[in-house]
Amino acid sequence: MTKIIDGKQVSLQIRQEIAAEVAEITKNGSRPPHLVAVLVGNDGASETYVTHKVKDCEEVGFRSSLYRYEDSISEDELLQVVDSINQDAEVDGLIVQLPLPKHISVDKIIGKILPEKDVDGFHPANLGRMVKGWPAYMPATPNGIVELLKRTGIDTSGKHCVVIGRSQIVGLPVSILMARNTQPGNCTVTLCHSKTQNMAEITRQADILIAAIGIPGFVKADMVKEGAVVIDVGTTRVADTSKKSGFVLKGDVLYDEVAPKCSYITPVPGGVGPMTRASLLQNTLLAAKGMIYE
């Protein structure tokens, strides 16, 4: 029988653990962890994500600040904003919400964030530390996936993990995490992408299939073997006039068709999404405690 991996429940556990630790920190007279989010433009999904992040901070006792800018802001102006936040000793974590307008280089902006405040885990210094197996701020979604597997009690050692998608935010880092000599980890990992030939042949070999390609319903039943663990990272907004919001979130996996074949599967929404937000809180707490860059 298929077991649904409840990301909402697992993320609730993590937030409760963080809230208890923050209560101890502030009880001793120290200030609470402080997360700053920078939002450029009016992208609907970004607005939603940032609103959730602010709410999460309030829930666990963090301080949060939101800096909003029009999408007409220049690259130099945004770099100056990042620099001023870098220099603020009262700020522990800084995230610049993606995507950014096309005239702004994401690499330049991410590279400007101090590695010790890069709680999204996107800076090359943190990615490099992750590859080396050193303490690092892990990219939030890959870390959330690993945490889900860990807290669900899924044994990954020696298993074949197939990752679909090679983005620097999800696919590539999660493939590295799943191959590390840790638990969860110790997988034999295959990374599939847009140039992969015979993809269904490869995905059918997966004991653990992680879909992070951003195409709704891409993974169908004939791509999954019986008893596989399927992690769906997809969160594409698809228009739906029957919904108050005007859209519905769709995963990369054709859930109703695939779920009956799985031992475990994450739903969309309510699977990986809440874990991404919980991982951001975990990183911010680590930053406030000076646990990574001592």
Q: Is 277 annotated as a binding residue?
A: no
Total domains present in the chain:
2
Q: Is 165 annotated as a binding residue?
A: yes
Q: Are residues 107 and 226 in the same domain?
A: no
pTM, to two decimals: 0.94
The amino acid occupying position 108 is: K
Asked if the model's pLDDT at residue 66 lies above 90, the reply is: yes
Q: Are residues 253 and 184 in the same domain?
A: yes
Find the mean pLDDT for residues 145-156.
97
Q: Are residues 71 and 150 in the same domain?
A: no
Q: Are residues 163 and 216 in the same domain?
A: yes
What per-residue confidence (pLDDT) applies to 219? 98
* Beta strand segments in the chain, E: 3-4, 34-40, 63-69, 93-96, 160-164, 188-192, 208-211, 229-232, 236-239, 247-250, 264-265
183 given a catalytic annotation = no
Cα separations in angstroms, 138 against 29, 31, 276 = 29, 24, 11
Residue 174 lies in a domain: yes
- Domain of residue 180 covers 140-272
117 given a catalytic annotation = no
Asked if the model's pLDDT at residue 59 lies above 90, the reply is: yes
Q: Are residues 184 and 258 in the same domain?
A: yes
Single out the catalytic residue among 56, 92, 97, 112.
Answer: 97
Find the mean pLDDT for residues 72-85.
98
Examine the fold and report which residue of 82, 115, 148 is the final residue of a domain before the chain moves on.
115
Single out the catalytic residue among 56, 92, 118, 120.
Answer: 120
53 given a catalytic annotation = yes
Question: To the nearest 10°, the Cα dihedral for 36, 47, 12, 171?
Answer: -90
What per-residue confidence (pLDDT) applies to 127? 96
Q: Give exposure, 147-184, as e/b (b: 16+ Cβ within 10 Å).
A: bbbebbebebeebbbbbbbbbebbbbbbbbbbbbeeeb
Find the mean pLDDT for residues 221-241.
94
